[in-house]
A = this chain, B = another copy of it.
Amino acid sequence: MDEVTFAVLGTGGIGRRALEVSQHKDALTPVAACDRHGVAIDFDGLDVDELLEATEGNIDNEVATDGGTAASEGGVKQHGEELGVVASEQARPSEDSIQDIIDHGDEIDAVLLALPNYEHDFIPRTAERFIEGDYSGVMIDVLKRSRVIGMLDDRREAFEDAGITFICGAGATPGLLTGAAALAAQSFVEVTDVDIHWGVGLKSGYEDNRGTVREDIAHLPEYDIETARDLSEEEIEEIIDDHDGVIEFEDMEHADDVLLERAGICDAEDVTVGGVLDVYNDEKPTTTTVRVTGRTFDGETATNTFQLGDETSMEANVNGPALGYLKAGVRRNRAGEYGVFGPAELMPGF
């Protein structure tokens, strides 16, 4: 496949790491990155090292209000006068950095939405802005929220008309793990059970991943996206302390189920997702494992298993797959396949 240009919306932990990981492959050229404060665009390819170095410690993890003008309260550290991405010499301040990217959309093959913490409809509404701005290309998110997928599906026809291929949930979970489930499902003519159990140890990565922790807390039974969004950093840390740093999730609401169902792998109700997040240790509290149980054409029942090495960080498991699905999405887009796709739908399968 020819060179792929991509933009990153959001330069928090996921956006920064996506830029960094893309440096390891030739065929991916990051050409734009933005946060709410500004935008960096260079169609010869961003100087990722400069951008990451200049903005180190400038990570914008705060929660946006609708207008995107919430005051910084600790999430973004200042670097001189400058907030977030603007600390890079490649960036300039912008009052509407997303529009700046849309305005250059004809030179951007794919847009990675690395915005984990906004309202449910933030990503669908952002996608609508790209439609209105005549963008045609790939949009990709790394969310794990079933409801967002439904909202994107509601816009399927608009994506098709615009020529947009929207890939949703393309990080580690559900992305990599539902992809593994789709692969493992190929031994079977009927999949009866998919069990996804993840472990994340986050001590040294906590600062870079506050947004993801907040997202996870939203999946605890006592919280939802809205209430989690309203928590202060102090409240988040209190919740973590209350759990001695280890938060367990059982049968959580997670988009894996709907993504596997839409890929034709199994019924959503046959998918179980749980996990353990340890914020105080880097070591994973449990080995991330996908178990796919099914019936073979010759009548046997068996379980295929995929396990991630405990030493792989969440960041490594988010960003490699996200960029892989991004490239797979570009291939689909160039072939004229538009609409909404989950990662498992991009896998070979029958």
Complex alpha-carbon distance, A334 and B337, angstroms: 11
Please tell me if A349 contacts chain B, counting CB pairs below 8 Å.
Answer: yes
Across the interface, A186 reaches (CB within 8 A) one of B17, B321, B336, B349, namely B321
Please tell me if A21 contacts chain B, counting CB pairs below 8 Å.
Answer: yes
B297 and A20 form a contact (CB under 8 A)? yes
Complex alpha-carbon distance, A343 and B347, angstroms: 11
B302 and A305 form a contact (CB under 8 A)? no
Please tell me if A301 contacts chain B, counting CB pairs below 8 Å.
Answer: yes
Q: A309-B187, A323-B350, A325-B348 are in contact. Are A316 and B298 (CB under 8 A)?
A: yes
Please tell me if A115 contacts chain B, counting CB pairs below 8 Å.
Answer: no
Please tell me if A169 contacts chain B, counting CB pairs below 8 Å.
Answer: no
Query: In residues 112-138 of chain A, which contact B (Cβ within 8 Å)?
Result: none
A316 and B301 form a contact (CB under 8 A)? no
- Best-buried of A302, A317, A324, A350 by chain B (most CB within 10 Å): A350
The segment from A65-73, A156-164, A175-183 found at the interface with B is A175-183
Complex alpha-carbon distance, A20 and B348, angstroms: 19
Please tell me if A331 contacts chain B, counting CB pairs below 8 Å.
Answer: yes
Interface residues of A (CB under 8 A from B): 17, 20-22, 24-25, 27-28, 176, 179-180, 183-190, 293, 296-298, 300-313, 315-317, 319-321, 323-328, 331, 334-337, 343, 346-350
